[in-house]
């Protein structure tokens, strides 16, 4: 399941006691609870300190791992990164972040409010004077833009980045540039091969544009009560409550019964 706007409340919390009960029941039935998010692995892991064996699909599918092994890692070449950063120079309202295996990186000349906001979502975050300083494997470029410009910027980026990266909206003014063909649905299919679980035997929960492929691919795609019409249109079902009302936990409880 997706995290922001789906599993987590706005303050990044969830009903931990209730989740513990549901997780114990899922474990008893040999069911896997998998986190699938555009966020950084380190940030996602911090939400589940009592569950060391969870599997995380991070960076919109570019990085799949648990505490013991890496299942998938899709990194950009230096030439691809250079091309993407050159394209982004034509979008002055966008602020850029590189998300790597070891850390995320933002430019030090960004305003402190932006850097603090990125710290909220990237537990490992470094500031650099130039992206040329970064010595890491880059999984994704994250863009922050004005909320009302998000859809237009996504469309404007498609052609100049064709064959190099796929722009996908996470909502709330956030856009991810990820490898073509790398998304949450592809990641679940890859993970399913490892776990011997078919896509049709999976249920997925989401609320944003980057969840659409995942919700369409699985046997039961559940949209949150608070989703956009585009997400609702492709879902098999929706929760009765939004993320603040713990809609995922309510739905899971019903599903397990």
Q: What is the mean pLDDT of residues 141-159?
A: 94
Nearest 5 degrees, angle CA 145-CA 150-CA 153? 90
Q: Are residues 46 and 20 in the same domain?
A: yes
Which residues touch 216 (CB under 8 Å, ≥6 apart)?
185, 234
**Mean pLDDT score, 186-195:** 96
Q: Are residues 43 and 122 in the same domain?
A: no
pLDDT tens readout for residues 116-142: 999 988 999 999 999 999 999 999 999
Banded pLDDT at 208 (limits 50, 70, 90)? confident
Structure tokens at 170: 């996470």
Average predicted confidence (pLDDT) for the chain = 95
Judgement on whether residues 174 and 190 belong to the same structural domain of the protein: no
Q: Among 159, 178, 197, which residue terminates a domain?
A: 178
**Does one domain contain both 194 and 150?**
no
E strands present in the chain? 34-36, 55-58, 63-65, 70-73, 95-100, 104-107, 125-128, 138-144, 166-171, 174-178, 203-206, 220-223, 237-238
What's the pLDDT at 169?
84
Domain end point (choices 128, 151, 178): 178
- pLDDT the model gives residue 21: 97
Helix (H) or strand (E) holding 33: none
Looking at residue 2, its pLDDT comes to 97
Residue 170 has pLDDT above 80, yes or no: no
Does one domain contain both 83 and 173?
yes
Host domain of residue 193: 16-73+182-256
Residue 172 sits in the same domain as residue 83: yes
In a domain, 163, yes or no: yes
200 and 151 belong to one structural domain: no
Question: Which uninterrupted H or E stretch holds 65?
Answer: strand 63-65
User: Is 236 labeled as catalytic in the residue annotation?
Assistant: no
Q: Determine the pLDDT at residue 184.
A: 95
What are φ and ψ of residue 253, in 5° steps? -60, -45
Q: Is residue 64 part of a domain?
A: yes
Q: How far, in Å, CA of 176 to CA of 94, rounded?
A: 12
Q: Residues 201-214: what's their mean pLDDT?
A: 94
Catalytic residue among 2, 174, 207, 242: 2
| 93: exposed, middle or buried (Cβ count in 10 Å: 0-12, 13-18, 19+) | exposed
pLDDT confidence bin for 165, thresholds 50/70/90: very high
How many domains does the chain fold into?
2
Last residue of a domain, one of 126, 155, 178: 178
pLDDT over 80 at 177, yes or no: yes
Query: What percent of the chain is modeled with pLDDT above 70?
Result: 100
């Amino acid at each position: 399941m997706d995290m922001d706007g789906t599993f987590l409340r706005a303050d990044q919390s969830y009903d931990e006691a209730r989740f513990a009960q549901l997780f114990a029941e899922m474990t008893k039935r040999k069911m896997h609870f998998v986190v699938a998010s555009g966020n950084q692995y380190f940030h996602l892991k911090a939400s589940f300190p009592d569950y060391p064996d969870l599997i995380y699909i991070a960076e919109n599918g570019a990085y799949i791992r648990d505490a013991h092994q890496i299942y998938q890692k899709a990194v950009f070449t230096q030439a691809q990164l250079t091309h993407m950063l050159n394209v982004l120079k034509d979008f002055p309202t966008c602020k850029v972040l590189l998300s790597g295996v070891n850390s995320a990186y933002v430019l030090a000349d960004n305003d402190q409010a932006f850097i603090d906001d990125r710290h909220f979502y990237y537990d490992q975050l470094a500031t650099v004077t130039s992206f040329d300083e970064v010595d890491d494997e880059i999984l994704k470029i994250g863009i922050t833009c004005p909320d009302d410009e998000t859809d237009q910027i996504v469309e404007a980026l498609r052609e100049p980045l064709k064959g190099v990266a796929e722009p996908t909206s996470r909502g709330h003014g956030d856009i991810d540039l990820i490898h073509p063909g790398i998304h949450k649905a592809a990641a679940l299919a890859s993970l399913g091969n490892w776990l011997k679980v078919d896509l049709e035997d999976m249920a997925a929960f989401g609320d944003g544009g980057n969840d659409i492929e995942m919700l369409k691919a699985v046997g039961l795609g559940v949209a949150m009560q608070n989703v956009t019409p585009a997400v609702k249109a492709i879902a098999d079902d929706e929760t009765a409550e939004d993320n603040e009302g713990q809609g995922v936990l309510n739905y899971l409880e019903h599903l397990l019964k």
